[in-house]
Amino acid sequence: MTKVITYGTFDLFHEGHYRLLQRAKALGDYLIVGVTTEKYDMERGKLNVVDSLPIRIENVKKTGFVDEVIVEESLGQKINDVQKYHIDIFTVGSDWVGLFDYMSDYCKVVYLDRTKNISSTMLREQNKRIQKIGIIGSGRIANRFVPESKLVSGVSAQAVYNPHKESAGRFAEKWEIDAYDDLNAFLRDVDVVYVASPHETHYEYIKASLEHGKHVLCEKPMTLKKARTEELFAYAKAHKLILFEGIKTAYCPGFEKLLGIACSGTIGNIRYIDACFTKLQKTTDRELSDREYGGSFTELGSYCLLPIMKLFGNAYEDVRFDVIHDGNGLDIFTRASFTFPRGIATATCGLGVKSEGRLLIAGTKGYIVVEAPWWKTTYFEVHYEDASQVEKYSERFLGDGLRYEIRDFLNMIGGNNKSDFKLTRGESVAMAGIMEKFLEQEKRGLV
């Protein structure tokens, strides 16, 4: 008996898949198909698979060509499968020519011609109207956003707005998109908006975008006033629009896993959280030259507040700020100390002082530690009283990580709210309230 194996995602099952499986079966007597898990696809950078694993398996089985289905969970599994199932022929489509030649040490490798003009990617694009995204602001983060957006299907960066025509022009030329210095014209021509302008301008830009009926993804901090954040969310809700605060950590898989472990009871009841993020910045950069809204806390505070809000909730009893200022009165190192009914937390941010930058979550049975850059969570450890007992967890964080929030934003626009727990409106409002308190105390010279 000749045993054949092939692998694939088989998303939105199409004719190309059918013909591939038909010819694979014809190569032998017994066909095994490996279907990828969602997690493996995520790790490979395929973020937009539509069909769940059971549906993809069902579709593969329905062809009638398949004798056995297995799941493909990780890189390197293929060689083990070939040996384990005593495979004679390994086959895949011709888009993979050469890439699996190394398998010929174990079995025969056959590349089958790919069916032309059809692919899951093509179908996903057709099913989903491509959202034309317009970017407000053309600074560093906007420059990171464009390449990340290219990795998420269903969205295309089309335009940039900046009241400074030359800046918009330079950015547009670099990314081959359209430049606007007229906000109304810009908002008319795009479907959704990404706000990446200086913090204090977010509120007006979000408001204008929502009033033009556009969904908005806004960089953190969304606004610097609680009432403003509440007002914008209420407007968005009333007009059935998505307003989404882009704190990238909240959407990355490693942070999700970390929260899951922290909440699982493995470290007991959480009593203390210490989150620190410091970055040495040039004094000419906006963060250190904007006397009114620059400084470490408005720039980095959202990251440090995130794990605190996620694990202790929004209802803190008290917050106190300790601040080191530079010669211009700008906060270059700030520690916000919170008391909650059942725990305490510190959020420490630095732009002119470098510190260790880690996240520590301490509980009644043990603690979790994530080293810098914990805000791009890839690896963390759980420790217990017995120092020799350490559990290690790791997760992928691809590129700049903005792709995860863009994906979740688009899913929400598409009516799929399965990720809206990752950063709730209540959490965004509470964070704006903390920023407001901090800025007020700074203004009054209290910190």
Is 119 a residue that touches ligand CTP (CB under 6 A)?
A: yes
Nearer to ligand CTP, 10 or 312 (CB): 10
Shortest distance, position 129 Cβ to ligand CTP, whole Å: 18
Nearer to ligand CTP, 96 or 272 (CB): 96
How many chain residues touch ligand CTP (CB under 6 A)?
17
Which range in 87-95, 216-224, 279-287, 398-406 contacts ligand CTP by CB under 6 A? 87-95
Is 149 a residue that touches ligand CTP (CB under 6 A)?
A: no
Shortest distance, position 131 Cβ to ligand CTP, whole Å: 19
Is 377 a residue that touches ligand CTP (CB under 6 A)?
A: no
Is 71 a residue that touches ligand CTP (CB under 6 A)?
A: no
Which range in 9-17, 207-215, 339-347, 356-364 contacts ligand CTP by CB under 6 A? 9-17
Shortest distance, position 77 Cβ to ligand CTP, whole Å: 16
Nearer to ligand CTP, 93 or 301 (CB): 93
Is 16 a residue that touches ligand CTP (CB under 6 A)?
A: yes
Q: Which of 3, 4, 5, 20 binds ligand CTP (CB under 6 A)?
A: 20
Shortest distance, position 192 Cβ to ligand CTP, whole Å: 23
Please state the three-class secondary structure of the chain as a single string. CCEEEEEECCCCCCHHHHHHHHHHHHCCCEEEEEEECHHHHHHCCCCCCCCCHHHHHHHHHHCCCCCEEEEECCCCHHHHHHHHCCCCEEEEEHHHCCCCHHHHHCCEEEEECCCCCCCHHHHHHHHCCCEEEEEECCCHHHHHHHHHHCCCCCEEEEEEECCCHHHHHHHHHHHCCEEECCHHHHHHHCCEEEECCCHHHHHHHHHHHHHCCCEEEEECCCCCCHHHHHHHHHHHHHCCCCEEEECHHHHCHHHHHHHHHHHCCCCCCEEEEEEEEECCCCCCCHHHHCCCCCCHHHHHHHHHHHHHHHHHCCCCCEEEEEEEECCCCCEEEEEEEEEECCEEEEEEEECCCCCCCCEEEEECCEEEEECCCHHHCCEEEEEECCCCCEEEEECCCCCCCHHHHHHHHHHHHCCCCCCCCCCCHHHHHHHHHHHHHHHHHHHCCCC
Is 29 a residue that touches ligand CTP (CB under 6 A)?
A: no
Shortest distance, position 49 Cβ to ligand CTP, whole Å: 7
Is 39 a residue that touches ligand CTP (CB under 6 A)?
A: no
Is 120 a residue that touches ligand CTP (CB under 6 A)?
A: yes
Is 127 a residue that touches ligand CTP (CB under 6 A)?
A: no
Q: Which of 4, 9, 276, 422 binds ligand CTP (CB under 6 A)?
A: 9
Q: Which of 3, 8, 309, 409 binds ligand CTP (CB under 6 A)?
A: 8
Residues of this chain that bind ligand CTP (CB under 6 A):
6, 8-11, 16-17, 20, 92-93, 95, 114-115, 118-121
